[in-house]
Amino acid sequence: MIRIANGQGFWGDSLEAPVDQIRRGPIDYLTLDYLAEVTMSILQKQRTRDPQAGYARDFVDLIARVLPDLKDRRIRVIANAGGINPMGCRDAVLERAARQNLPLKVATVTGDDITDRLDQFLKRGIELKHMDTGEPLSAIRAQVERANVYFGAFPVAEALGLGAEIVITGRVADAALTLAPMIHEFGWKEIDWDKLSAGIVAGHAIECGAQVTGGNCQVDWETIPDLADIGYPIVEAEPDGTFSVTKHAGTGGRVTVASVKEQLLYEIGDPTQYITPDCVADFTTVHLDQAGENRVRFTGIEGRPATNYYKVSISYTAGYKAMGSLVYTWPDAYKKARAADQILRQRLTRLGLRFDEIRTAFLGANGCHEIPTAEPTPEIEPHLPEVVLRVGVRSENRAAVDRFTREIAPLVLNGPPGVSGLGLGRPRVEEIVAFWPALIPKSEVRPEVAIWPSAN
Amino acid sequence: MAKRKLVEIAHARSGDKGDLVNIGLIVRKPEDYPILLREVTADRVKQHFEGVCKGKVERFELPNLGALNFLLHEALDGGGTMALKADPQGKTFSTALLRMEIDVD
């Protein structure tokens, strides 16, 4: 049996979680997921300013902090912290290890970055059509910032096979970070579809960190113990493809069949076809049992052969946006917020500003759900203590969005009464980076695995 | 038949993929799964999210988990970073669905 922990569900997740995973109980592998789709573009912007940047710096600080513990406990780390500069990330980690006089073997998995090859692909008739709309990439080619392939678990397992104590990857499918140590330890092959699918289901269960141990858990949320000290998830994996999800003893949160079900259903499509680079997992074959306190056992998982394609995530710039908020108070909170929205829109029209979209939400009065049955009833409405007016605009024209940001604050003095600006100041104009999911034949790209210091 | 809110017999989690929202709906007690199957149809979900979900609604069954998975197409104003919604990642579609009124035996 091996223990694979997750200590980071996204870049910006708890800084203490990975440290707790290392120090508060036994684990063999620590996986860390840093790359949301939007992260690649943020890293791109950082690298434009500083060629040495472009990776998750938090990861380097974390390794520097826990390196002696990793050594003592022989824990190996797998992280997609490399972003768009995995080699830079590796060098930074090696430098911090050298400062502590600790020898360290760090491997990288690269080759996912196909930004510079896009035109070559398009010329050869690989259209990189949008997976949902079918549009060819040529429609937005000029706006493209980056293109990265999602690799699977085998190159990561290869890196572990080379003896890496830390594996730093670029873009790799989130669940593959968990599957990789199983392939490495248990010798699973490319055709072991059922076992690979089990590893992917395990990865899916823990890739969002505490979302499987009681975080964002809807069922009986009030009775979940000690969320302040919530434990992050650990997979206890067996060579036959069965596994349990649990957490360290003494931590908060809860692992039950119900909490696990919520996470299994998170961000999936057709449950019989969960497509990953390594296999197609069938979530309708998962069997769950409560095997003990805070321990759920997974059995029966089946899957099918992988497809011949990798998914590609292409980021492109798509104009500008800004969001402004004001809060209106009783009496007539909702009525005043709606009136202010109308006044603001009239002013924007009078200024001749054109937007692709203007969107209003009334928070506190059906601002999130926005469905007809969630509207405050006429009996409730007059009693609402406050309603937040939140207006967003989007446009190709930065100047129009910038002008919009000047029209929020004046409403405090020249609009409906009983209003606060929430101390937020003028809204910020943001450049929008949008995403274009596409497929590419696997034969067109190859993962590259390397280790430092090298064998000789 | 009595009217109840879905929240009394089920729990849910939702998330995004581009302009699409998925909602996993899970029955609290296995014996209530047939109620979910009968009451929470793709058509009813589409109607429940009137004005919010502009595309089709697909429903998938996971009897092994006592669950349904719904895909709501064109539900996020273009999706992710494009969306100006207060909930651009569709995280609260789960609780919005649980407001639905259903008939129970």
- Dmax over CA atoms of chain A, in Å, equals 78
Structure tokens at B40: 């929470």
What is the percent of chain B with per-residue pLDDT over 70, rounded to a whole number?
100
- Cβ A370–B52 below 8 Å, yes or no? yes
Contact residues on chain A for B17, CB-CB shorter than 8 A:
267, 269
- Cβ A285–B64 below 8 Å, yes or no? yes
Query: Any alpha helices (H) in A112-153, and if so which ranges?
Result: 118-123
Q: Is A392 on the interface with B (CB under 8 A)?
A: yes
Structure tokens at A99: 């400062």
Contact residues on chain A for B87, CB-CB shorter than 8 A:
368
- Sequence letter at residue B74: E
Q: What is the DSSP letter of A249?
A: T
B76-93 residue pLDDT tens: 988 878 889 999 999 999
pLDDT value for A456: 46
Question: Which residues, including other chains, have CB under 8 Å from residue A310's CB and lie 6 or more apart?
Answer: A149, A150, A151, A277, A439, A440, A442, A445
Q: How many structural domains is chain B composed of?
A: 1
Instruction: Judge if pTM exceeds 0.90.
Output: yes
pLDDT value for A454: 67
pLDDT value for B78: 85
Q: Is A114 on the interface with B (CB under 8 A)?
A: no
pLDDT value for B81: 85
Contact residues on chain A for B48, CB-CB shorter than 8 A:
371, 373
Q: Is A222 on the interface with B (CB under 8 A)?
A: no
Decide: B25 and A245 in contact? Cβ < 8 Å.
no
pLDDT value for A37: 75
Considering the domain boundaries, does residue B64 fall inside one?
yes
**B20: domain range?**
14-98
Cα A254 from Cα A234, distance rounded (Å)? 12
Considering the domain boundaries, does residue B22 fall inside one?
yes
Considering the domain boundaries, does residue B48 fall inside one?
yes
A46-60 residue pLDDT tens: 888 899 999 999 999
Give the residue ranges of chain A where pLDDT is below 50.
456
Q: Helix (H) and strand (E) counts for chain B?
A: 3, 6
- Sequence letter at residue A144: V
Searching chain B, which residue's CA lies closest to the CA of residue A267? B15
How many beta-carbon pairs below 8 A join chains A and B?
131
A3-51 residue pLDDT tens: 999 999 999 999 999 999 999 999 999 999 998 877 887 888 888 889 9
Strands (E), A229-308: 234-237, 243-246, 274-275, 280-282, 287-292, 295-299, 302-304
A387-429 residue pLDDT tens: 999 999 999 999 999 999 999 999 999 999 999 987 878 999 9
Considering the domain boundaries, does residue B104 fall inside one?
no
Choosing among A201, A357, A371, which should be mutated to test the B contact, i.e. which has the most B CBs within 10 A? A371
Q: Nearest Cβ partner of B67 from A216, A261, A267?
A: A261
Q: Nearest Cβ partner of B67 from A265, A359, A374?
A: A265
Distances, alpha carbon A425 to alpha carbons A244, A320, A361, A419, in Å: 49, 19, 19, 14
- Structural domains in chain A, sorted by start: 2-112+150-307 (no CATH), 315-433 (3.30.70.1120)
Instruction: Provide the shortest C-alpha distance from residue B49 to chain A (in Å).
Output: 6
Considering the domain boundaries, does residue B28 fall inside one?
yes
